[in-house]
Structure 1
Amino acid sequence: MDAYDQLLAIEQIKQLKARYFRCMDTKDWAGLRAVFCDDAVFDARSSLNMDGTGEGAGAESNDWVYHGGEVIAAFVRDAVSTRRTVHHGHCHEVEILSATEARGVIAMEDKVWELADGSPVLHGCGHYHETYRHENGMWRILSSRLTRLYLKLG
């Protein structure tokens, strides 16, 4: 790929990740499903704890690894449909590996509250470590792994 095509691909991947955050926060489940490849893998074990091996309340996420775009979208929907979420992604590091493959690390911050009473659920910061595939004319997330640098439950 020449420099122009690489820059275009990087921008498209940044837009893809922005769409992921927006669709989750606005509860656009069809849009969220569209950001993932059919054979995507989502490792969310650090959703509720720092390293995916937490104890107590955070242990619930220790086994959260999901396979397939439909399954991933359903997991996210079920996890946040009764909650207000705000996700910010920034500092995108994207490396184009070929015309159809890329990888990246995206810094993130998320805040989650219960819709019913506004009580806080979590505030966290960390990174998404991802791979992407260009298929059917667009980039999609092939794999995504969440890591945490900070997490406060409740």
Structure 2
Amino acid sequence: MNPMDTLEARLRALEDADAIRSLKARYFSCCDLKDPHGMRECFAPGPVRIDYGAIGVFDDRDALVAVFERLGCHPHIVEMHHGVNPQIEVIDERHARGKWGLHYQMLDTRERAFTQLGAYYEDEYRKIDGKWKIAATRCVVTSTLVGSYDPASPGVRFAGRQAG
């Protein structure tokens, strides 16, 4: 490989890693903004592997979106997803993988409850028609805090690795 080819390959890998960071940021934003269509478009069409632990395991993006709409797309559910410490490895021009930390907060204004959790994602990405998509993902919860801010019963309901 001549020096120009090497430089082009390095530049492409940097651009691909940046595009993957943007993809994951878009995914988090779509979750927070209650945008099921936008969230769906972050995933590859067809068979995928989505393992969100207690939320469920899904074989296609539409199954995940259906659960998202049922559980999260309500005005009284206020979510904040903060993806941190991305570790992205571009394998080749069409495949990459990554690991992300997650700090998540959810306020349920109807129940006057909150959830805060720490987790990490293990992702696989595939470039389809020139755009990176999530082809597989696994979210592993590492810490959970569930509490109430209802004046009648304030306090911690659960603290540990993962609420049941």
Q: Shared fold by TM > 0.5? A: yes
* TM-score class normalised by the smaller sequence: 0.7 to 0.9
1:45-56 equivalences under 5 Å are 45=53
- Which amino acid in 2 is paired with 1:102? A
Q: Percent identical across equivalent pairs? A: 24
Question: Which of 51, 56, 59 is the matching residue for 1:43?
Answer: 51
Runs of 4+ in 1 over 6 A off after TM superposition: none
Report how far residue 119 of structure 1 moved. 2.2
Provide the secondary structure at the position in 2 that maps to 1:116.
Answer: coil
- Residue 92 of structure 1 pairs with residue 99 of structure 2: no
Is there any run of 5+ residues in structure 1 with no aligned partner, and where?
A: 46-60
Report how far residue 117 of structure 1 moved. 4.7
2:66 — aligned with what? 74
Question: Which of 31, 34, 42 is the matching residue for 1:24?
Answer: 31
Contact 2:82 2:102 in 1 (8 A): yes
- Which amino acid in 2 is paired with 1:144? T
Give the number of the structure whose alpha-carbon radius of gyration is greater: 2
TM-score normalised according to structure 2 size: 0.79
Q: How many residues align?
A: 137
Contact 2:113 2:146 in 1 (8 A): no
TM-score normalised according to structure 1 size: 0.83
For the residues of structure 2 that align with 1:77 and 1:9, how far apart are their CA atoms?
30
For the residues of structure 1 that align with 2:111 and 2:56, how far apart are their CA atoms?
26
1:35-72 CA-to-partner distances (Å, cap 9, x unmatched) read 00122221011xxxxxxxxxxxxxxx2x7101101112
